[in-house]
Amino acid sequence: MLRLWINRRRASGAVPGLGIAAIAYVAVDYLRHSSPVWHERLQPAIWTALVILVVIRVLHYKYWSLELRAAIPFILSMLFMLSAFLFEAISVRSVTAVLGLDWHNDTPPLPDTGQWLLLALNEKLPEAIVHVLRARIIGLHHFLMLFVMLAFSVVFNSVQAPGLGLGARYMFTMAVGRLLRAVAFISTILPSPRPWCASVRFRVPSHPHRWAQKYYVPYSSDPGSISRIIQLDVAYAATSEYGDEFKPNWGTMNFLADFLRPTASEGSSSWFSLLKSAGGGCNDLLYSGHMLVAVLTAMAWTEAYGGLTSAFMWLLVIHSAQREIRERHHYSVDCIMAIYMGILLWKTIGLFWPIKNRRSEAQRLNKLEKIHHRLLQAAKDSDIDGVRELLLREDAELSSSKIISNGPFSQSKAMWVFSGGTIFFTVVIALLAFKLTSDG
């Protein structure tokens, strides 16, 4: 089977070795933990070799017109992803700020059966296997770099052109996933698996925001209060007095103060500086952003390249998931949800993102290469009917592909639908925030 796969790659003009390069990159980067000296020697060497090979192949690349057409969707997808990251950063800090640091420090983590299972396996499995499970073989930046390697392998014909088209779909899917993650994140606030996380990453007031004082604190621990609020369906408790909140001078962005809750020591910082210094959230529900990136990378490899390397990618995803649970970066549910959410999103976006539309030129060239020898033979035999039949068959196949790709769920329409929905959702949130701050 392996030989058959290699022969098929060679027949398509692909240069073998992408899988070997990916595994070598992960192995060499792991040497930073096991052998720093060899890591310092080998990492520059492997990157230099890869860059030289790419530069050489770029000179003979045939699909620049496809790449130029895919550049605009790629840039739009990047902007969309940056907007999703901004919305997520606001959500991450607001979830921590609304309850205050005291709640985060004093509330114990939820019971997590996945963490219990891994601790139990440490006592049952051989020490060598436990050492492998604990090893920091791969991280978030590795998965991003592995995707970059996959996209650049288009110059070696290892994946189908355009590489920027694959990158645009990857970024767009990640942006949609980040938006859904942020919506799930702010829907219900859970205690962090690491109780000290909020104190380390954020400087927000210790006491709860007035929203939490009015709608949560009086009813959080008293069963009688919970029963009464269920019956009345009205927040009847008076707001406690904790002193005035610090008000920054952010101009038109002052409405973000209720979500970010800066302290007096951060008074000179802009709202954007606060978001940049957050460094990630502490209460990830319902799925991990780290695992989302890992799964999308594995899905891209499986669809674009396939083979044994894709199986290796999924092993890295599973290893990364158990490490996230083991080190209490996330609850088990965060990693499990991220795995099947990533698969679902990649497949769903694929329905709205017809690859055939962006690769018609590459397909035409590939089909012509496949029938090249038959065309020459028909021409030598003066078989005009045979030449006409081959060309008509190729045109019919390309026309059917074009009809499919230009259907109701075309790439541009899908981008406008998702982008328009995101803009609408963001405007609604901003208007609600402005109304709440005005009422307060």
Distance in angstroms (rounded) separating the CA atoms of residues 74 and 167: 7
Query: Residue 83's Cα: distance from chain center in Å?
Result: 14
Distance in angstroms (rounded) separating the CA atoms of residues 302 and 298: 6
Contact 207, 102 (CB under 8 A): yes
Distance in angstroms (rounded) separating the CA atoms of residues 54 and 149: 10
Task: Summarize pLDDT for 268-280 with one digit per residue, the tens.
Answer: 778 888 887 766 7
Residue type, 152: F
Residue 17 region by backbone torsions, left for phi larger than 0, else alpha for psi between -120 and 50, else beta: left
Residue from 291, 336, 341 nearest 115 by CA: 336
pLDDT at 382 over 70: no
pLDDT at 404 over 70: no
Contact 94, 183 (CB under 8 A): no
Contact 285, 130 (CB under 8 A): no
Residue type, 307: G
Looking from the CA of 137 toward its CB, the CA atoms found within 13 Å total 20
The token duo for 54 is 């790419």
Q: What is the pLDDT of residue 409?
A: 38
Residue from 201, 222, 218, 198 nearest 210 by CA: 218
Distance in angstroms (rounded) separating the CA atoms of residues 16 and 28: 20
pLDDT at 11 over 50: no
C-alpha dihedral, 352 to 353 to 358 to 364, nearest 10°: -70
Task: Summarize pLDDT for 333-363 with one digit per residue, the tens.
Answer: 999 999 999 999 999 998 877 554 444 445 5
Report if pTM > 0.85: no
Looking from the CA of 331 toward its CB, the CA atoms found within 13 Å total 20
Contact 341, 290 (CB under 8 A): no
Task: Summarize pLDDT for 20-61 with one digit per residue, the tens.
Answer: 888 889 999 998 888 888 888 888 888 888 889 888 888 888
Residue 261 pLDDT level (bands cut at 50, 70, 90): confident
Secondary structure class of 188 (helix, strand, coil): coil
Element (H, E) at 50: helix 36-58
Q: What is the pLDDT of residue 20?
A: 87
Helix axis angle, 64-106 to 163-187, nearest 10°:
20
Distance in angstroms (rounded) separating the CA atoms of residues 145 and 168: 15
